[in-house]
Amino acid sequence: MTQSLSPTRTPPEATPPRQGISEPPFLAADEETVHHTPYRKRHPVLPKPVTVNMTPMIDVVFQLLIYFMLTLNFVIGEGVLTAKLPTGPGQPNPQSKPPERPLNITLRSSGAVGCIIGIEGMATQSANFRELSQKLAELQYNPELGRQGAYKPDNPVVIKPDSTTRWQHVVNAFNAAIKARYLNVSFAQASEPGSETPGDQ
């Protein structure tokens, strides 16, 4: 009976209670006798605005953002050694002072990847670049560090690799000279591989 009189209503037992708006229980019981506008008409349920759930998207976008920010770093783990370049072919930087005798480091390739490290004018070779650095330090004149060699720190040091010396050895030799506190280190043009004394330009 109740259902036929109010066709707009579905039986309360058939629908699960709506969330948010709860039906006043007294209305359901004696609806036929109470003459007033139904609850539904007084409080029309407005259609819910359709919204897209943004939360997962924002999560993903933030993840991407963080990823790109972190991977932005140029190349991780790399650094630089600042070198002066010879302005002329094979020449140390021109200076107004009378030219000093450059300290020449010769690098000769041996085998596929090897390298023979020498200092021009010295008979013995260095086994590795730590030893080269040590020798260069011994050759330096630097009273502050107690070094009694013949070469001042600003004396030109020229690295003379042959053409097939690997770049790694060249940079290593440069690093050794920097480590020995030389200030004016430059690179010569490539000499022919295997030549005993790398050719001067």
Partner 1 sequence: MSQVFKKGPISAEINMTPMIDVVFQLLIFFMLVNNISNEEGAPMIVPELEDPKTLEFGDRNRVVINIEPMAFSENRKIGDINIPGQASSLKIGIERYALDDMDGVTKSLQQAKARNDKVEVLLRADAGLFYDEVQPVMQAIANAGIVKVNLVAYLPEDVR
Whole-number Å distance between alpha carbons of 61 and 110: 54
Place of tokens 């670049």: 129
Q: Is 85 in the site for partner 1 (CB under 8 A)?
A: yes
Q: How far apart are CA 13 and CA 200, in angstroms?
A: 104
Pattern 163-182, partner 1, x by CB under 8 A: xxxxxx-xxx-xxx-xx---
Contact 159, 174 (CB under 8 A): yes
**Least spacing, CB of residue 134 vs partner 1, in Å:** 11
Three-class DSSP category at 5: helix
Task: Please give the Cα distance from 62 to 64 (Å, whole number).
Answer: 5
By CB under 8 A, the residues from 2 to 31 that bind partner 1 are none
Minimum CB distance to partner 1, residue 187 (Å): 6
Q: Which residues bind partner 1 (CB under 8 A)?
A: 46, 54, 57-58, 61-62, 64-65, 68-69, 71-72, 74-87, 89, 93, 107, 112-113, 128-130, 133, 161-168, 170-172, 174-176, 178-179, 187, 189-190
